[in-house]
Structure 1
Amino acid sequence: TTLYNKILSKISGSVIGPAIEPYMPYFNITIIILVLFVSFSFWRKGDEVWFGRLFSLNMLMFFPSVLDFSTFNWIGLIFDLKPTPGVTHIWVFGVGLLLQITYLMLSYTVRFRYTREELKGRGANEQDINDVTRGQVSYLVLLTTLTAGLTAGIYIAAPYLTKLAINPIEGLPVPHMLVGFLVVVFIAAALVIYLRTSSE
């Protein structure tokens, strides 16, 4: 990413730059190995809290790629440079979507394990427990697949929908406020529906 390359250039141009210059080609490999070790350590903990920390670590490393495609130059607040992405926006979107799906799968897998342990504690039959787990996993896979497909569809269709909607919206007196209001209403309605269905 632009930010990562800038940090490397700052290190190379610092006082310790000449001393570590021969080892700079191994810098990326060292970071990858270190991150893999930390990620594996978090994963080994095997509970929802540590999976959340693993997700936070991944998002922390992923966030600079998002900044490269931001319409506002966030990187410019840190360094005086122009974003020059090294990957495409599709790649960034795909990785972000994969991170979200992976976190959901890991998080719900932990909950499924808790459910299995609870059922075993109540003396449930092993076959019944396996059937419950199989149903939960099937539902999770279906839900994440549909969500990922819908999200990808919206992402791909968004530029075309923007082109179709820009002319009618420009004719409104305060388009940004109206669109913002509609979005807030939509989110509020979705939240109310979700809370009602969850309580039933």
Structure 2
Amino acid sequence: MKTGFLRTIEAMVAVASTYMAAVTMIQTTLYHKLLEKLVGSPFGPWVEGNLSLINLAIILALVAASFTFWKKGDEAGFSRIFNLNMLLFFPSILDYSTFNWVGLIFNLEPTPGVSHLWVFMVGLLLQVTYLMLRYTIRIRHTWQELEARGAEEPDLENIAQGQLGYLSLLTCLTALITAGVYWAAPIIAEAAAKPLSQLSTPHLAAGIAVVATLGASLVFYLRGEA
């Protein structure tokens, strides 16, 4: 296995994730509202007559930006890909938020153009993309470092294959756990609604539990990175 193989995987994952995030973004309430503002401007007739072309141009420009970040092949470039994807994905999260955040910006009700399952699948893709890009760059760095020390090709292959196996396992487990949480969340919420409603401050109790869980997860994560 050569590092070129990893670079190809990185390119495919980066481009696919940005493409899906961009396609999702152009179907959000916030994006449509911004287009309505443009339609009401002096450029309105041209914008209204070329909406499909504008959407396509935006998607291609965003994918090109992601490809440019990938070409750098470093952690900074991959961080930009992740930030770009999350920025594109964020409006779709607002559409399905229980609080009308979009209404704080514009006076309108969320009317998403994609289903909540679509949003979940794209979010899962972005999560998998983050994991893959983060670990493939580590694999490449390990390969280059060991190669510089004079390691032989078979040894490099074995180490890289072991790291790829770990990455595959981590990605699959992450996807399964995330999917499990997605499907179980409504059931848990329904089951917890009655007990929490009996508390004087149910939102405070739930908030403390969530913050404590996030804090514990962060501690375990930081210890694992050390």
User: If the length of structure 1 is used for normalisation, what is the TM-score?
Assistant: 0.92
Counterpart check, 1:73 vs 2:97: no
Q: Which has the higher mean CA deviation after the structures are superposed, 80-89 or 163-172? A: 163-172
Question: 2-side partners of 1:13 and 1:100: how far apart?
Answer: 37
Question: 1-side partners of 2:131 and 2:42: how far apart?
Answer: 44
Equivalent runs, 1:24-35 vs 2, <5 Å:
24-35=51-62
Shift of 1:116: 0.6
Q: Which runs of 5+ in 1 are unaligned?
A: none
Equivalent runs, 1:34-49 vs 2, <5 Å:
34-49=61-76
Question: 1-side partners of 2:77 and 2:225: how far apart?
Answer: 26
Identify if the C-alpha distance between structure 1 residues 195 and 4 changes in structure 2 by more than 3 Å, giving closer, same or farther.
Answer: closer
Question: 1-side partners of 2:172 and 2:39: how far apart?
Answer: 44
Question: 1-side partners of 2:78 and 2:60: how far apart?
Answer: 19
Q: Could you say which residue in structure 2 is the equivalent of 1:3?
A: 30
One-letter identity of the residue aligned with 1:107: R
Q: How many residues align?
A: 199
One-letter identity of the residue aligned with 1:37: A
1:102 to 129, 143, 147: 129
Deviating beyond 6 angstroms after TM superposition, the runs of 4 or more aligned structure 1 residues are: none
SS of alignment partner, residue 130 of structure 2: helix
User: If the length of structure 2 is used for normalisation, what is the TM-score?
Assistant: 0.82
Q: Could you say which residue in structure 1 is the equivalent of 2:185?
A: 158
Q: Which runs of 5+ in 2 are unaligned?
A: 1-27
Shift of 1:185: 2.8
Alignment deviations for residues 111-159 of structure 1 (CA, whole Å, 9 cap, x no partner) = 1100111111111121111111111111011011111111110111111
Structure with the bigger RCO (C-alpha within 8 Å, sep 6+) is: 2
Alignment deviations for residues 135-184 of structure 1 (CA, whole Å, 9 cap, x no partner) = 11110110111111111101111111111111122222322222222233
- Paired-residue identity, %: 55
Q: Which has the higher mean CA deviation after the structures are superposed, 71-80 or 13-22? A: 13-22
Identify if the C-alpha distance between structure 1 residues 22 and 179 changes in structure 2 by more than 3 Å, giving closer, same or farther.
Answer: closer
Larger Rg: 1
Q: Could you say which residue in structure 2 is the equivalent of 1:134?
A: 161
